[in-house]
Amino acid sequence: MSDAGKTTPDDAGAGGGEPDGNGGNAFQAITSQADFDRAISARLERENAKYADYDALKDKAGKFDAGELAKLDEIEREKLARQDAETKYAELLSKQARFEVASAKGVPVALLNGGTKEELEAQADALLQFAGAANGPRTPQPDPSQGQGGGNGGDSGSTGDWLRDSLNRR
């Protein structure tokens, strides 16, 4: 709803103008705080009156919600409580399985997120295999220059001793 076309006696007096020839009020500028307060007070009172019964409506809505909850028969309330308990129980079983597998396999619990115990064990085994491959002992890479050039009769003129070879070249 809009108050754009409505005027009240307070609004007409607040403008302080005489009606013009077109049937409306002539505009008169507000020049003091007292004029402004008079002009705005009626509008504020109307706006505050819209929300005067807010607390009563809020209480009424609360009573309605309480009545709706009371309408639920005992079987439905028990059903909701049972579903809540089953959900919590499933979460606890999942956490317990994660802790058991983590402690048995030596894997951090935060890295396990499977649904069943078998999935958790498979995931833990995969993590251990990955960690073992990354941290296990490694064989050195073969050096292709090792074991070559040790003889005196080679075409390269190398004796296998780098110091002697470098001095002979001078």
pLDDT in tens, 94-139: 999 999 998 898 888 888 887 888 989 999 898 888 887 666 666 7
Query: Is 0.95 topped by the overall pTM?
Result: no
* Nearest CA-CA partner of 10 in 49, 67, 51, 54: 49
* Nearest CA-CA partner of 98 in 114, 75, 78: 114
Domain ranges of the chain: 9-55, 72-135
CA atoms within 13 A on the CB side of 54: 6
